[in-house]
Amino acid sequence: MPIALIMAGGKGERLWPLSTSKHPKQFTALMDKTFFQMTVNRVLPLVGKDGIYVVTQENFKSEILKEVPFLLEKNIIIEPVGRNTAPCIGLGALLIARKNPDEVMIVIPSDHLISDEEQFREIVGFGCEVGLKDYLITLGITPTEAHTGYGYIHYGGEKFCKENKKAYQVLGFIEKPDIEKANYYFSNPSYLWNSGIFIWKARIILEEIATHMPDLSQGLNTIGHYWGTPELESVKSQVFKTLPSISIDYGVMEKSERVLVIPASFQWNDIGSWSALEKVFTPNKTKNLTLGPYFGLQSYNNIIYSKKPIITFGVNDLIIVETDDVVLVMPKSLDQKIKELIQELKKSEEFRNLT
């Protein structure tokens, strides 16, 4: 049975102010469960309760155990500081490899929405079979539009096939494109969205990190030397501060020759912006997407999230978000620039605590 490594240490700034550094996106609920709870439920039938591992920050540990009480505390791996996905995944692989270096890992973010979970599990199950052959597997999502907010995967020849599921050789990874390139990728069936979901053996990813990221590998080896000793947390804290902050895509996947992609057509969304909610929820007849009590007059094409009643009169194309601490009002056209707002708020003594 494989292992699921859930990455749950991110900030989710693009959904601010619902998502903050103290209570990030993965622990918020747009539906009846939080993103984290939905992620656990999604992989649970594949790995079982004992097979769920979580990499997170120390200040999120109690929230994780509260939301999913059956999680084993020993399977919660603490990052001393955030260093992007490569160190995060390397740390998880280090622990899993100590138990079984040939254990297949399903690496999955904690804050995505996936609608057809049965299809997800079928594709991931196929990926685990291919992962046993010492490949690095990533899931690529069949694009539904020319999206400029996602990275893309260019793929070529077929390597493995089982029934209607196939794995292909990856030809390259592309960063978030401009609209002209996104239109080209959307029209070309050999390009997929990069989902950030990976499958591989713990031993194989550690070998690839050693090959392509020797500094990270050296740091992980130092931490591994002290695993199970009283000095572990102190050493881990010291070492992690020196590790490169880099994604697994850039650090390993773009350089490795072992990478395959499995196309997936299930509905997937990383909810990377407030506008992304329009792909998940259905706006009303005035094209207003409302999550909470709302009344609007001569108001169109707004996104509104609130627990209190929101009333608008004669406003269009706005995002309005009300939380216990703050109200955000901004045009939808600035949705992808919300990190700029957060950076400015952090400079303010009066408002930095809201981020």
> How does pLDDT run across 290-340, given as a tens digit for each residue?
999 999 999 999 999 999 999 999 999 999 999 999 999 999 999 989 999
Amino acid at 340: E
CA neighbor of 315 nearest in space, from 327, 331, 303, 298: 298
Domain regions of the chain by residue span: 3-272, 275-354
CA neighbor of 60 nearest in space, from 6, 111, 9: 9
Residue 127 binned pLDDT confidence (cut-offs 50, 70, 90): very high
Q: In what order do the strands lie in the sheet with 289-291?
A: 289-291, 303-305, 318-322, 327-331
> How does pLDDT run across 192-251, given as a tens digit for each residue?
999 999 999 999 999 999 999 999 999 999 999 999 899 999 999 999 999 989 999 999
**Distance of alpha carbon 297 from the chain centroid:** 37
Per the DSSP assignment, residues forming a β-bridge with 77 are 55
The single residue listed with the structure tokens 């506008």 is 275
Q: How far apart are CA 77 and CA 70, in angstroms?
A: 16
Residue 172, pLDDT score: 95
In degrees and rounded to multiples of 5, residue 268 shows phi and psi of -135, 140
Residue 105, pLDDT score: 98
> How does pLDDT run across 256-282, given as a tens digit for each residue?
999 999 999 899 999 989 999 998 999
Q: What is the CATH number of domain 3-272?
A: 3.90.550.10
pLDDT at 12 over 80: no
> Do residues 175 and 283 lie in contact, with contact meaning Cβ atoms separated by under 8 Å?
no
> How does pLDDT run across 27-64, given as a tens digit for each residue?
999 888 999 999 999 999 999 999 999 999 999 999 99
